Amino acid sequence: MAIDMNKVAGNHSQQLDNIKLKSQNANQTVKQQTVQSQAQSEASSKPQVKDSVSLTQQAQQLHKIKDKLTNTSSIDQEKVESIRKAIAAGDYKVDPQKLAANLAKFEGDLSKIF
């Protein structure tokens, strides 16, 4: 009875090839995991970028105006009472020239702000 050595060696050869292929696949998987792990550690070691806000010049001016308004007393109670009494007595008179001049001045002041 003759034994064909090629068949015996061929089976072992296929088994060795399968083992080599599995080993290569395992090595490739380990390498991919290592690369992913390194990428994650590099990403986590980088400093985080912080958000920032910048205001336009107009917004800064509005903020300054708001601060000035909150820090000043806007009502002169004595003047209010004197006008109230004059209106009640019928003595309050409006000077149209002065009113127009004040309105024009107010609009001019607003145009400087905006």
CA–CA separation, 72 and 66 (whole Å): 10
pLDDT in tens, 76-103: 889 999 999 999 999 999 999 999 999 9
User: For 18-35, how does the pLDDT look when each residue is reduced to its tens digit (9 = 90+)?
Assistant: 677 777 777 788 788 887
Residues 6+ apart with CB under 8 A from 114: 58
Contact call for residues 37 and 44 (beta carbons, < 8 A)? no
pTM of the model: 0.29
Dihedral sign for Cα 81, 86, 90, 93, please: negative
| Cα–Cα distance measured from residue 26 to residue 20, given in angstroms and rounded to the nearest whole number | 10
Q: Delimit the domains of the chain by residue range.
A: 77-114
